[in-house]
Homo-oligomer: A and B are copies of this chain.
Amino acid sequence: MSDRYLNLVNSPVGSAVAARVGLPQPSVLRRYEAGAPILPGPVLLGSTSPKPAAGLRKAVEATGAEVLDLAGEGVKVAAAVLDARSVSAPGDLARLREFLQPATKALAANGRVLVLGTPADGADITADATRQALDGIVRSLAKELRRGATANLLWVQDEASLPAALRFFLSGRSAYVDGQPVLLGAGTAPAPADWTQPLAGKTALVTGAARGIGAAIAGVLARDGAKVICADLTQAGEALAKVANRVGGTALHLDVAAPEASATLLEHLAAQTAGLDVLVHNAGITRDKLMANMKPEQWDSVIAVNLQSQLSINAALLDSDQLNQQARVVCLSSTTGLSGNRGQTNYGATKSGVIGLVRASAAAFAAHGDSTINAVAPGFIDTEMTAKMPFATREVARRLSSLQQAGLPVDVAEGVAWLASPGAGGVNGQVLRVCGQNLVGA
């Protein structure tokens, strides 16, 4: 399961050999560490406007990083943040080159490029076309950056969620998020008393929590301060109990596809908690088969567990008095839901379905006391499941992304934790890829 190739090319001899013969050279990514600063170095801050927004500078400074206006000779920066919200005609795009060309050169290993744009609003054709150009710039740049550096794009409709978004995208929490646009809309997004404990006082429930990505999500939500109810099948009992103990949470035996699942869940919540703040629909199964050989039970079981269960539980929760105001629901999708995957028509159906679900449900959750619902779409993540893949298939899949490596379960968990946090209240009905800019098809 450990990425021996990545370890090899990061050894002194392996690194020299890989460089000599032109092999991919994935970096060891910078990830969250308790107590470490959000950024290990200064931030280069620029703007396409002659009058830079004071609010953005303050928000960047609040992360604790030193802010530079110019990349000095020989200075390495940990991040380059460009406020490109003012572009409104193609000629304005030259400002992006002027900033990004030297910024790219000054970027340290595991650096962050973050561009802020204004989303299209239908008022002016030239302005909207120019704004959309940011997407092609950021995605192309993400494919150019090396040594663990990433580039992402924030469409800022409303600044309320900017502080939490900056803390996610500039820190090691977003290690495996690359080439990703996210819309920050209006929404209640309170700053937590302590940014290292954004989920303090919150109750979260994670389905499929006994292992893999689900266990990682339970761990990160607990690290961020939540009281976590770890739910999984009865037969996962021992593993589930271990996870629950490790994260200081409780265990709940729950088959999300059972007819009584919602009732079991609501009863548990009524007895145990002051209402639910965070729900993570992580439980999911695969029954991979080419369509030509797909059996009814392989199809039906995947649809029931991965899609129908999320719909049923959400409806029951919204109908109950157990879902708190400003709740956060995060649904696990997949890059397969965006681009399809060979042998996964059943799984792809459910993971596209989940994307349809969060888009269609956003208004209903917003109406429930400014709650939100979003999806996280992991790409190729190293888990027990991928450890069973044939060696060559796994090796190729690991390199087919801009970061040239698989993600870890904790990378998905960090994405979930950001969307689950109070400060992400302006993000609703969206899909966050955690895929290292996976090459899976547009």
Contacts and interface: CB of A to CB of B under 8 A. Distances in A.
A120 B348 contact: no
A356 interface: yes
A201 interface: no
Interface residues of A, number: 88
A191 interface: no
Contacts of A290: 104, 144
A400 B96 CA distance: 31
B129 A91 contact: no
Contacts of A292: 101, 104-105, 144
A357 interface: yes
Given A144-B345, A307-B90, A441 B132 contact: no
A226 to B, nearest CB: 26
A300 interface: yes
A131 interface: yes
A133 interface: yes
A355 B131 CA distance: 10
Contacts of A96: 349
Interface string A99-134: 011001100000000000000101011101111111
A136 B290 CA distance: 14
Nearest to A122: B360
A14 to B, nearest CB: 23
A23 to B, nearest CB: 14
Interface string A400-442: 1010000000000000000000000000000001010111111
Nearest to A343: B144
A113 to B, nearest CB: 9
A268 B351 CA distance: 52
A142 interface: yes
Q: For chain A, what secondary structure do more than half of its interface residues adopt (helix, strand, loop), or is it mixed?
A: helix
A262 interface: no
A28 interface: no
A413 B176 CA distance: 38
A348 B140 contact: yes
Interface string A285-314: 000001111101001100110011001001
Q: Which of A138, A143, A315, A335: most chain B CB closer than 10 A?
A: A143
Contacts of A269: none
A435 B442 CA distance: 9
A203 to B, nearest CB: 24
Contacts of A364: 125
A360 B133 contact: no
Contact of A125 (B311, B349, B400): B311
Interface in A119-173: 120, 122, 124-126, 128-144
A342 B143 contact: yes
Contact of A354 (B129, B139, B294, B337): B129
A351 B120 CA distance: 16
22 contacts: A90-B311, A93-B349, A94-B296, A97-B346, A100-B345, A101-B293, A104-B290, A120-B360, A122-B363, A125-B311, A126-B311, A129-B360, A132-B353, A137-B349, A139-B348, A140-B343, A141-B291, A142-B340, A144-B345, A338-B442, A438-B442, A439-B439
Given A104-B292, A120-B356, 5 more contacts: A94-B299, A101-B291, A101-B292, A139-B348, A437-B441
